[in-house]
Chains A and B, each alone.
Chain A
């Protein structure tokens, strides 16, 4: 078990190195330089050259890359042009918000989707199955931002049950009230995300359970005299969870960087909103940092998926 995880982490090292080189080269390929815009336009070009030189911008790319990596390890990703504060601090404060929202949405999605998928498969072809299938198709067909806008309008504006902007109320006291306020702010986007994001899990689980239901080892279990509910619990459900588990790692990190819609509609100060804003303001340092973080998150997602898989499926562990 630990061997599998350790080997998997070792494989990640070259992946991260390649990713960082790619991100760095892309950043280098962007037009412009960091000084032209930020100093007096009447300044002597020679002085600009001097600045470029002492900052190492004329060095060969691998040397510049090395400097960048060293800074990276010191937690220094440069300053944001737009906010005039270190990128690490900027992203750090946003990441916490996004993390809470993503975690809440993911947990809620599985809470809805797993029972639905199980129930649909158990009653395959009957009425409950049809209802659940139609539900997932409908939620799949409606674009998510439409749902969000309608949700904000109905529950935030018309009914006024939920806040429509921000991540925390400005008047909330520190301690328990502030946590409550945070939760109150992620409740509506989280529930909407979960209700309308079930299709993948439900359909995967349903088809897996239907497959497992007819498999030989389930027939064996029946012939052994295993009670029906234990057959579902011990034989079918555990084996059907495999693709879901494989999916879980991705979906958690996917939510971290895929919350663009939710954060934009709810003006929720998370990484998605930051990313959108940085792109519109050409805030290169932030964009580079975010792309790097998203890349690493995706790698972590696959790592997480593989670890979950190796827990669930003994066949892929290294002996």
Chain B
């Protein structure tokens, strides 16, 4: 059984307008998505900004009011507040945020920031609590003198590591990492990601890793879901997505990964332009008449793509010809 099962999740925000401020329409931030997160794995959720991936993440933590659908954890639907409470859900599921500065209370010391989740769920005495906070700081490679400092006295990378320590404090089963490194420069990104991997190995934590950076996702994730306009366009293993992309949106995202080899620059550019051309020509084929993705169709046991059946067959055929 999976750790968390997300089924037909939708989150709509009402649009109010007119004189009486009635609800006239809704923004479909998340529009019926389903996927499962297995214990101990890192699940990547990828998409452009505004595709609804952060909203999905927030729904899984319980920060977002879900319009319909269910998120099952230990056999209970945690979209309901009472179930979250009875399960001590936020003891098991924590979140790391993108902006490490604004997401830490500027007027609290690091000791209090990290200890707060412990105070919510575990009743430790002062010394035990301090020891635990020190352990956590040690795990993310920070000194004991960090205890009495405030968030603004740290660098971005250190702060994000504090965010990680805070999320790990309650020994959670799942951590939602909402673009945890996209505000950091590359060397610090690697540092934070490696701490996250180390913690995963030691504590067997699952991650829902939300990112728009396919390079980082490849480094971190076992399974990947690609999101576009509130719907999933493709899900599969790392190999499925990176080596056998089916949907044009996935192909475009992959083509946008910067190539480090300068000698192949022209070649890479040609490839990118080709993908772009196919996208322009065949856009209508890949999306329904409202410009949204089709329902997912399973191709292999691990790989699904949001395309009509006939197009899937056609693409499969083309793939075989190429191979």
Given contacts A224-B90, A239-B107, contact A217 B102 (CB under 8 A): yes
B120–A226 touching, CB < 8 Å? yes
CB neighbours of A44 from chain B (8 A): none
B109-142 vs A, CB cutoff 8 Å, 1 = contact: the mask equals: 1000000110011000000000000000000000
CA distance A219 to B99 in the complex (A): 12
* A 213-256 binary contact with B (CB < 8 Å = 1; else 0): 00111011111111100100001001100000000000000000
Contact assessment for A219 and B116 in the assembled complex, using a CB-CB cutoff below 8 Å? no
Given A225-B120, A225-B121, A314-B150, check contact A219 B63 (CB 8 Å): yes
**Partner of B102 from A216, A221, A222, A235 at Cβ < 8 Å:** A216
In the docked arrangement, what's the CA distance between A226 and B106, Å?
A: 17
Q: A217-B102, A223-B63 are in contact. Are A313 and B107 (CB under 8 A)?
A: yes
Which residue of B89, B107, B176 contacts A238 across the interface (Cβ within 8 Å)?
B107
Contact of A223 (CB < 8 Å), options: B94, B105, B106, B152:
B94
Measured CB to CB, the closest approach of chain B to A218, in angstroms, equals 8
B63 touches A222 (CB 8 A): yes
Q: Taking each of A219, A220, A221, which has the highest tally of chain B beta carbons within 10 Å of its own beta carbon?
A: A220
Is B220 interfacial (CB-CB < 8 Å)?
A: no
Give B176-226 interface residues, CB cut-off 8 Å to A.
Answer: 176
B179 to chain A, nearest CB (A): 13
Bound CA–CA A307/B191 (angstroms): 40
What residues of chain A lie closer than 8 Å to B62, measured between beta carbons? 222-223
Task: Flag whether A91 is at the interface (Cβ < 8 A).
Answer: no
Question: Would you call B249 an interface residue if the criterion is a C-beta within 8 Å of the partner chain's C-beta atoms?
Answer: no
Closest to A220 in B: B103
* Complex Cα–Cα for A216 and B109 (A): 16
Q: Give the chain B neighbours of A224 by CB distance below 8 A.
A: 90, 94, 116-117, 120, 166
A74 contacts partner chain B, Cβ-Cβ < 8 Å:
no
- Please state if A227 and B120 are interface contacts (CB–CB under 8 Å): yes
Which residues of A are found within 8 Å of B121, using beta-carbon distances?
Answer: 225
Q: A224-B120, A225-B120, A226-B120 are in contact. Are A217 and B61 (CB under 8 A)?
A: no
- The 7 A-B pairs with the shortest beta carbon distances in the complex, nearest first, are A225-B90, A223-B95, A216-B102, A216-B103, A217-B105, A224-B117, A220-B103
User: Residues of B at under 8 Å CB distance from A?
Assistant: 61-63, 88-91, 94-95, 97, 99, 102-107, 109, 116-117, 120-121, 150, 152, 166, 170, 176
21 CB contacts below 8 A, A to B, read A216-B97, A216-B99, A216-B102, A216-B103, A217-B102, A217-B104, A217-B105, A219-B63, A219-B103, A220-B166, A221-B105, A223-B90, A223-B176, A224-B94, A226-B116, A226-B117, A230-B120, A238-B107, A314-B109, A314-B150, A315-B106
